[in-house]
Amino acid sequence: MYCPIHKFGSRCLLTDTICQNSTCQNQDQCIPNDDYIISKLKFSCICPKGFIGDQYETSDNKLILSFEKNIILSQSIFIHFIEVIYNTTPARATTFKTILVRKNSIIIHWSQPFYLVFIESFNKIYYLVYLQKIYNGSTTINKTINSFDRLQNISRLFNESIVKLDLIRRIKYYHLPCEIYSPNLKCFYDDIHLCLCYDFNQ
């Protein structure tokens, strides 16, 4: 016989009072642990959306993204989060979001560290969302995506002769778009790299 939450006994008539003194926070639900579970705590907290931590005391990062009317997106988009760790290859994590019909905004909750965020639509158009040099957790980011946030492919920035060069010879020209188009150009990409013009000349 299985008892409902907070009840126990052969006929489920006894009340478990462990959760009356729980330290669960932010309106999360307390669940008494089974006696056979090896744990320092006698209870577990079920986390509400937007919170993390052993007792869900820490809020996630919250990204509120809206799009200007001239931005044409597919109904579903990918949001890529890049974490840069010293002397290692940057790590990327991705989530998928659907934009509701007649809506021009989405909300993303994200608990992992990140330094750069960009979105990708199904037609392979990319927009830079956010860039930070130092990671700040539990923050709310409001961002309106406009046409200047679009990432440009190198084919739009260089002539054909440069684009066809092998990477080692071509990459030495990658500073030029930042010089020519700054501050309007924030980022561009090739088949492998994502290049930033952020804080150029500073």
pTM of the predicted protein model: 0.72
For residues 61, 62, 67 and 68, what is the CA-based torsion angle, rounded to 10 degrees? -90
Q: What is the pLDDT of residue 1?
A: 58
Q: What is the pLDDT of residues 142-152, one digit of tens each?
A: 999 999 899 99
Please indicate, yes or no, if residue 22 is contained in any of the structural domains: yes
Closest CA to 108 of 95, 120, 123: 95
Answer yes or no: are the C-beta atoms of 198 and 188 closer than 8 Å. Answer: no
Please indicate, yes or no, if residue 184 is contained in any of the structural domains: yes
Mean pLDDT value across residues 44-71? 75
Full residue range of the structural domain in which residue 14 is found: 7-59
Q: What is the pLDDT of residues 119-139, one digit of tens each?
A: 998 888 999 999 988 888 888
Domain check: are 86 and 76 in the same one? yes
Q: First vs last Cα of the chain: how many Å apart? A: 69
Q: What is the pLDDT of residue 201?
A: 47
Domain check: are 91 and 132 in the same one? yes
Domain check: are 144 and 124 in the same one? yes
* Number of domain units in the chain: 3
Mean pLDDT value across residues 16-37? 68
